[in-house]
Structure 1
Amino acid sequence: MTSSIIEKATELEAGITNVSSSESSENKIERVKSQLEWKPSEDKTYMQNFLESFKRVELEEIDPTLSVAEKIAIKTARTPLKKKLKNRHLQMIAIGGAIGTGLFVGAGSSLSTAGPAGVLIGYLISATFIICVVLGLGELAVEFPVSGSFTTYANRFVDESFGFAANWNYVFGCSISLPLELVSASITVDYWGTPKKYRDAFVALFLLVLIVINLFGVKGYGEAEIVFSAVKVVTIIGFIILGIILVCGGGPDGKYVGGTMWKSPYGAFVGKNGAQRFKTIVSVFISAAFAYAGVEMTGMAAAETKNPRKSVPSAAKQVFWRILLFYIISLTLVGLLVSHKDPRLIGNSYVDAASSPFVIAMENHGIKGLTSLFNVVICISVLSVGNSSIYGASRIMVSMCESGHIPKWTKLDYIDKKGRPLMALLVLLGFGIFSFIAASNKQDEVFTWLLSLTGLSAMFTWFGISLSHIRFRHALKAQGRDTDELWFSAPTGLWGSYYSCGMIALIVVLDFWTSLWPYDSSPNAEYFFEDYLSAPVFILMYLGHKIYRRNWKIFIPSKEVDIITGRRVTDIDVLRAEIAEERAYMATKPFYYRTYKFFC
């Protein structure tokens, strides 16, 4: 069996990398990959097939004479991860992937820090560059649906040292997100008067659910996200409708709210002068980064999507509408219904089950019954974001082990016959042990530390995505190619990625300033490291890898960048013909349909 798998893997590799192949359509690659896929034997019992499914998929060794970059490209391109995600899975991952405790609970910290107007400014500015990031990622993910997604792109298009730091940064962020979400769950169950001694039991329950979901592989992840995302989307839409009614005075108390919370004595901003208000808005960027974290998951899922060419562009474009509807509108209503001075908000006094600004908004205006339901949704969000963190980080770990950024003896590149990265999943679930801090009296401090660490981590991830897109476009031009050969070209183009890189770099610098000199206190070492620890860690990993490899180049020269290995389509002439045909077909459609397809 092993020899036949090796032969099929060799054929698969040839089908991906050989540009002049006679059978050059996507069908060849899909046919070979379907042959490589393991299927249960009818001659064996269910238990025998179940146990055999955990055995490792063995692939042929890579030619040792190839360069490091070439080995990484081939290994990540021929990954045995299963392509089980369908369009409906990716659409729901795109719609609900970033809706979690960062919005439902963490937004309260932003509101108390910057006020209702400061929150909107911070989230809107963050949204402008995040849209550029996701569209650039969509372009790369369609062309290169490889293991590791955006962190693999950093290795190939930017530099191996940058890819090393980006890989560890993302794993670090996802590993922290898991206990962070479970700590949030322990806070939420307090709403129903759950004794503190039972908090660990709820943490264990949530971990068990995540383990079961991931045992079903990528299809289990996709189906779970459909359910989780549907619940979250319905809840947010319901809150928006309820919020509009309450603002207009349709609540049980019958009071017209309007813009009361934006006026004296509350105020639209926090701070006594312009400088202080500017600092509070800068601090919102990090909270917004934590809330938006997860938008890049559509690119990660491309390697396990049946038809990324169709589903990934649509999912990437939906980021604009998702942010507009789920974040900006809902946060506008929260700012109208909740005072930024409310002592129940995170940052004003303490953290408990009522810290969610959405729950506070309902309680303040006489809506009692729905608060319990909303807290149930927060618990579901915990499972969703925890599930996404495990999914994303496990795939990155596989890519890192394949790339040599994690030692081979760790076996983190172990993928079984059902396409599950077992060793990586076990390591990540082990991080869930840290969530048992929920029983501690210091859980609010833990929440604040983890929130800050993961927020800045997301900034580095997005910077790496946009920089990879810039380097890919430069490589195309340097090698005499152009965007006409791309299945999907980001509507924001090359300049959108330049804009996102510039904005992220500016925010990281400004965050250094506000971390060192907070608006409401003197310089504080504890506050600085609490808010900015991941930046020096990223720099040290980057420089450490440079020194170890003795690689002093900042970027891989554009003419040397590998833009062939792992590409889904192998015949450029056929590709261009199909794109021209699609454009001609689109030209026959009405203007409103073309407009809809451009944005959605």
Structure 2
Amino acid sequence: MTPIKKNGEIMTGTSPSSSVELSLFNKKGPSSSFVEKKGPEDNDSGYYQEAVVNGPSSDTHSGDFDANGGNDSAGHGGLNRDLQARHITMIAIGGALGTGLVIGSGASLAAAGPGALLLSFMIVGVIVWLVMCALGEMATWLPLSEGFPGYASRFADPALGFAVGWIYYIKYIIVAPNQLTAAALVIQYWVSREVVNPGIWVAIFLVTLVTLNLFGVKIFGEMEFWLSCIKVVTMLGLIFLTMVIALGGGPDHDRRGFRYWKDPGAFRPFEKNGQVMHGSAGKVVSSLSVMVTAVFAFMGTELVGVTVGEAENPRRNIPRAIKLTFYRICLFYIVSVLFLGMCVPYNDAGLAFTKSGKTGAAASPFVVAITNAGIGKLDQVINAALLLFILSGSNSDMYIATRTLYGLASNGIAPKVFLRVNRFGIPYVSLGFTATFGLLSLLCISSSAQRVFTIFVNIVSVMGLLTWICILWTHICFVKGMEAQKIDTSKMVYRAPLGKIGSWVALVFCCMIALLKNFTAFIFDFDSVSFVTGYVGIPIFIITFWVYKLVKKTHRVGALEIDYECMEKRKVDEEEKLFLEAEKRRLEEFPPSVWEKIYNNSLGYLF
């Protein structure tokens, strides 16, 4: 008999085939369990897990549902748990590699120059790493399916968890139309807006995305896995290609080196509406102004906090994911923008975000670099690959937004109607509501796609910063509680390298960027659009926090009030013990091959 879990109790037994004990804990989920079973198709290769469902809970409001998506009389069901570890990992990577890097970097390059672009990506990269470390320390201590909103409610204030949960959802319903606008920008490289209005492309892509999200999550996960693999391979190819071009290996044999850092320069003076701020002050202002694009480029790395509740053995995989995040930041972001700045000057007319950029200009600066080097036809291929980048990102963004809204409803902080799922386990009401915000991308019909893209970046970046601020503040409260309760930290599987100090430093920088990100709205002529879009997220967050706090009469969780040895943690501890025992037996029976070891220590850092 295999171990099952029923109503929160782990029941163990002996399997005649493998004697393996496994269970799966889901705080808000159903009374479900996983039975490890050796199937006839796997006699020579290993194990697979078969879900055993004990039926839906009667408490539909709290989010206890049938894991396999069975509907109750109210039409409320559950999500299918078909995402494997490789799916979750690649969705997180693919979510981070998107328009912020391949298109947004062009806006920063055109506005501030290659030096400012590199500096802003390095600063924000360090901040993101500190955020990931803070999140990882909490996630390995207590993996929660609610992610960082759950940690905020548990370690800081329930009102903070409510506010950050809704801010995160708002961010993603804006990111999706931003991606669609970016897709319209990319297509204008082939077909100008005078020939085909970009709104037509946006409508086609939006219908396609909604259709794809109506498929089962297993199909979605498999599709996103391979699309994300294409993204990683494409980015590695672009990094290598720009390095070759910079060193004179292109058809023009022009050894550019750091020429463009000298002429026209590494830092571009700040310019607005034809007015230029010369001197060092102008260069500092332009450098600060592009921080918003760097923040936007890095958003999505915190997805580890969203998937932690479904991660296999999180206490082993989360620290690995954080280490990999550091390597990916160094490679995909820092190295790529360094070589990019060596290949394209900030005043290149081919950039869509330059004042001289024409309608059919390349949305991505990487395409500009290829074109300038005289590599024929490759610019077409790369532009098509970047379009695939964007559509894949849009697909995953809509998926995350839909599941976030479903999670908010399951926790009782969104209307229950969003809990409805169809017989395939798709939360169709949440999907339909989320998809309506994709219509915002139709703004590019009356305005230039470049302008709409910039507006969306302003809005989304402040939402991302507020999310990071909440994660960092929650971690500070988490550490303070441990110190106050004198908990032995040697028991922790993972500790943030810089501890509470690192979170304080990152918190200060995040607050500074949030306040200064659109200060250029006040320079020269007042830019009301830039001011509103750049700061609108802050009052929304504050109002959401205080309304919930006053209505629900919540209070800040004191350092001595935090329950570190809660029932959830004890269950996770037990599950980890069972998992490690099962994993040990599996490895004894099926040890990793030489090729698996080589992959894990090489390409495994990227894929």
Please, which moves more after superposition, 442-451 or 417-426?
417-426
State the partner residue of 2:234: 235
State the partner residue of 1:180: 178
Alpha-carbon contact 1:165-1:542 (below 8 Å) kept: yes
State the partner residue of 2:292: 286
Alpha-carbon contact 1:143-1:568 (below 8 Å) kept: no
- 1:490 deviates by 3.5
Q: State which of 522, 530, 544 in structure 2 corresponds to 1:517.
A: 522
Q: State which of 499, 505, 529 in structure 2 corresponds to 1:499.
A: 505
* Distance in 1, Cα, partners of 2:558 & 2:573: 25
Q: State which of 481, 490, 513 in structure 2 corresponds to 1:475.
A: 481
* Amino acid paired to 1:543: W
State the partner residue of 1:46: none
Residues 512-531 of structure 1: CA distance to partner in whole angstroms, max 9, x if unpaired?
Answer: 5x24433xx34433332132
Q: Is 2:546 the partner of 1:543?
A: yes
State the partner residue of 2:57: 59
Please, which moves more after superposition, 133-142 or 155-164?
133-142
State the partner residue of 1:3: none
Shift in CA distance, 285/165, structure 1 to aligned 2, threshold 3 Å: same
Counting only pairs closer than 5 Å after superposition, residues 89-128 of structure 1 correspond to structure 2 as 89-128=87-126
* Amino acid paired to 1:261: Y
Q: Is 2:398 the partner of 1:393?
A: no
* Amino acid paired to 1:386: S
* Distance in 2, Cα, partners of 1:573 & 1:407: 32
Q: State which of 107, 111, 131 in structure 2 corresponds to 1:133.
A: 131
State the partner residue of 2:529: 526
* Amino acid paired to 1:542: F
Q: Is 2:455 the partner of 1:449?
A: yes
Alpha-carbon contact 1:87-1:307 (below 8 Å) kept: no
Shift in CA distance, 426/243, structure 1 to aligned 2, threshold 3 Å: same
- 1:482 deviates by 3.2
Q: Identity over aligned residues, as a percent?
A: 31
- 1:501 deviates by 1.4
- 1:418 deviates by 5.0
* Distance in 2, Cα, partners of 1:177 & 1:389: 7
- 1:357 deviates by 0.8
- 1:217 deviates by 4.0
State the partner residue of 2:40: none
Alpha-carbon contact 1:12-1:29 (below 8 Å) kept: no
* Distance in 2, Cα, partners of 1:262 & 1:284: 17
Q: State which of 266, 276, 280 in structure 1 corresponds to 2:282.
A: 276
Which secondary structure does the structure 2 equivalent of 1:262 belong to?
Answer: helix
Residues 494-516 of structure 1: CA distance to partner in whole angstroms, max 9, x if unpaired?
Answer: 3332222122112223325x244
Q: State which of 278, 302, 311 in structure 2 corresponds to 1:305.
A: 311
Q: Is 2:218 the partner of 1:213?
A: no
Alpha-carbon contact 1:94-1:318 (below 8 Å) kept: no
Q: Is 2:467 the partner of 1:461?
A: yes
Shift in CA distance, 116/194, structure 1 to aligned 2, threshold 3 Å: closer
State the partner residue of 1:587: none
Q: Is 2:342 the partner of 1:336?
A: yes
* Distance in 2, Cα, partners of 1:270 & 1:567: 53
Q: Is 2:22 the partner of 1:27?
A: yes
Alpha-carbon contact 1:207-1:432 (below 8 Å) kept: yes
Q: State which of 148, 159, 167 in structure 2 corresponds to 1:161.
A: 159
State the partner residue of 2:223: 224
* Amino acid paired to 1:395: R
Alpha-carbon contact 1:456-1:534 (below 8 Å) kept: yes
**TM-score where L is the length of structure 2:** 0.79
* Distance in 2, Cα, partners of 1:494 & 1:480: 15
* Distance in 2, Cα, partners of 1:245 & 1:506: 37
Counting only pairs closer than 5 Å after superposition, residues 562-581 of structure 1 correspond to structure 2 as 562-563=563-564, 564-567=566-569, 569-571=571-573
Please, which moves more after superposition, 113-122 or 300-309?
300-309
* Distance in 2, Cα, partners of 1:337 & 1:574: 49
**C-alpha RMSD of the superposition:** 3.8
Shift in CA distance, 186/492, structure 1 to aligned 2, threshold 3 Å: same
* Distance in 2, Cα, partners of 1:307 & 1:187: 41
* Amino acid paired to 2:393: V
* Amino acid paired to 1:532: Y
* Amino acid paired to 1:566: E
Alpha-carbon contact 2:125-2:329 (below 8 Å) kept: yes
* Distance in 2, Cα, partners of 1:152 & 1:31: 13
Alpha-carbon contact 1:413-1:423 (below 8 Å) kept: yes
Q: Which structure 1 segments of 5+ residues have no match?
A: 1-7, 17-24, 40-56, 65-70, 583-592
The structure with the greater share of residues assigned to helix is 1
State the partner residue of 2:247: 248
State the partner residue of 2:46: none
* Distance in 2, Cα, partners of 1:562 & 1:26: 28
* Amino acid paired to 2:374: G
Shift in CA distance, 484/381, structure 1 to aligned 2, threshold 3 Å: same
Please, which moves more after superposition, 569-578 or 325-334?
569-578
* Distance in 1, Cα, partners of 2:213 & 2:263: 51
* Distance in 1, Cα, partners of 2:30 & 2:408: 25
Which secondary structure does the structure 1 equivalent of 2:362 belong to?
Answer: helix
- Equivalent pairs counted in the alignment come to 541
Shift in CA distance, 186/165, structure 1 to aligned 2, threshold 3 Å: same
Please, which moves more after superposition, 431-440 or 239-248?
431-440
- 1:169 deviates by 1.2
Residues 335-357 of structure 1: CA distance to partner in whole angstroms, max 9, x if unpaired?
Answer: 11111112343542256551311
**TM-score where L is the length of structure 1:** 0.80
- 1:407 deviates by 3.1
- 1:324 deviates by 1.0
- 1:416 deviates by 5.5
State the partner residue of 1:378: 386
Which secondary structure does the structure 2 equivalent of 1:146 belong to?
Answer: coil
Which secondary structure does the structure 2 equivalent of 1:255 belong to?
Answer: coil
Residues 531-574 of structure 1: CA distance to partner in whole angstroms, max 9, x if unpaired?
Answer: 222222222222333333344x4x31122234425337455899
Residues 460-489 of structure 1: CA distance to partner in whole angstroms, max 9, x if unpaired?
Answer: 111112222222233334445333333433
Shift in CA distance, 415/463, structure 1 to aligned 2, threshold 3 Å: farther
Shift in CA distance, 420/456, structure 1 to aligned 2, threshold 3 Å: same
Which secondary structure does the structure 2 equivalent of 1:97 belong to?
Answer: helix
| Structure with larger RCO (C-alpha < 8 A, sep 6+) | 1
Q: State which of 371, 374, 377 in structure 2 corresponds to 1:366.
A: 374
State the partner residue of 1:68: none
Alpha-carbon contact 1:171-1:393 (below 8 Å) kept: yes
State the partner residue of 1:36: 32
Shift in CA distance, 15/286, structure 1 to aligned 2, threshold 3 Å: farther
Residues 217-256 of structure 1: CA distance to partner in whole angstroms, max 9, x if unpaired?
Answer: 4433432222121111111111122112211222222222
* Amino acid paired to 1:482: D
Please, which moves more after superposition, 362-371 or 86-95?
86-95
* Distance in 1, Cα, partners of 2:429 & 2:495: 36
* Distance in 1, Cα, partners of 2:439 & 2:306: 25
* Distance in 2, Cα, partners of 1:340 & 1:161: 44
Please, which moves more after superposition, 232-241 or 263-272?
263-272
Alpha-carbon contact 2:192-2:360 (below 8 Å) kept: no
* Distance in 1, Cα, partners of 2:542 & 2:360: 35
Which secondary structure does the structure 1 equivalent of 2:255 belong to?
Answer: coil
Shift in CA distance, 558/219, structure 1 to aligned 2, threshold 3 Å: farther
Which secondary structure does the structure 2 equivalent of 1:192 belong to?
Answer: coil
Q: Which structure 2 segments of 5+ residues have no match?
A: 12-19, 36-54, 69-76, 271-277, 585-597
* Amino acid paired to 1:29: L
Alpha-carbon contact 2:264-2:346 (below 8 Å) kept: no
